[in-house]
């Protein structure tokens, strides 16, 4: 779906932001994204998390929770640098797209 592809960048920023606040895991981030209006199935979420890990933005920490292994993700130094760069771009985008609109 084209819309999903379009919004995936926003989703990545949300994931990096939340991973910078506290360790996150798949089901939790699915609920958080749903709260923001992004409905991601596991077929989109997990490949996205893995890509962020492969690109060095997130680190995975498996932890045993109630007899199961839960994969927590935390942000890396590189991820934090990218998130901070994104913050500047988001500010610029908001200023242009929301605050300078002519309508």
| CB nearer to Zn ion: pick between 21 and 101 | 21
For the bound state, the minimum distance from the C-beta of residue 75 to Zn ion, rounded and expressed in Å, comes to 14
Q: How far is the CB of 36 from Zn ion (least distance, A)?
A: 5
Nearer to Zn ion, 24 or 82 (CB): 24
Interface residue list for Zn ion (CB under 5 A)? 32
**Of the two residues 37 and 88, which places its CB atom closer to Zn ion in the complex?**
37
Minimal distance in Å, beta carbon 83 to Zn ion? Answer: 13
Tell the smallest beta-carbon distance from residue 103 to Zn ion (Å). 28
β-strands 58-65, 68-75: how paired? antiparallel
Which tokens go with 43?
A: 């077929």
Nearest Cα to Cα of residue 37 among 6, 7, 5: 7
Distance CA 100, CA 86 (A): 20
CB 60 within 8 A of CB 72: yes
Distance of CA 10 to the CA centre of its chain: 7
Nearer to Zn ion, 32 or 59 (CB): 32
């Amino acid at each position: 779906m084209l819309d999903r592809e379009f919004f995936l960048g926003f989703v990545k920023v949300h994931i990096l932001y939340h991973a910078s606040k506290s360790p996150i895991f798949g089901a939790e981030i699915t609920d958080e994204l749903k709260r923001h209006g992004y409905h991601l199935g596991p077929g989109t979420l997990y490949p996205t998390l893995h890509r962020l890990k492969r690109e060095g933005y997130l680190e995975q920490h498996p932890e045993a929770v109630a007899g199961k292994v839960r994969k927590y993700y935390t942000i890396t130094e590189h991820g934090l640098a990218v998130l901070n760069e994104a913050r500047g771009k988001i500010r610029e985008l908001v200023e242009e797209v929301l605050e300078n609109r002519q309508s």
